[in-house]
């Protein structure tokens, strides 16, 4: 089977937050772009997640209605450190699993 190298590589990963979870679609960044995010801190985390998150599924509002992906929703999630850490963890785990599978 041939490998198709796409300019826009994406993968999905489950984001676990306590007992609950949702699914994120991430853009896989090349090493040169990843190095832009080496500095520690909340703003670097937010910038990184803004760049790599392409979609979110499985999120519900207070009335258990599905929330569609939007930049506003992403910004709401980025304001919580526990959610940022969970999304960062899902990116790294999913990225290395996707890389190993290629």
Q: How many CA atoms lie within 13 A of 8 on its CB side?
A: 6
Tens of pLDDT along the chain (102 residues) come to: 777 777 788 999 999 999 999 999 999 998 888 888 887 899 999 999 999 999 999 999 999 999 999 999 999 999 999 999 999 999 999 987 765 554
pTM of the model: 0.86
Domain ranges of the chain: 11-101
What are the start-end ranges of the H helices in 1-102?
31-34, 42-52, 71-78, 81-101
Is the Cβ–Cβ distance between 10 and 88 less than 8 Å?
no
């Amino acid at each position: 089977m041939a490998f198709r190298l796409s300019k826009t590589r994406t993968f999905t990963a489950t984001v676990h937050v306590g007992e609950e979870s949702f699914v994120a679609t991430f853009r896989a960044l090349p090493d040169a772009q990843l190095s832009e995010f080496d500095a520690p801190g909340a703003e670097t985390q937010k910038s990184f997640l803004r760049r790599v998150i392409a979609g979110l599924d499985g999120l519900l509002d207070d009335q258990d209605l599905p929330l569609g992906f939007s930049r506003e929703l992403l910004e709401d999630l980025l304001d919580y450190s526990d959610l940022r850490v969970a999304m960062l963890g899902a990116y790294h785990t999913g990225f290395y699993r996707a890389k190993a599978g290629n």
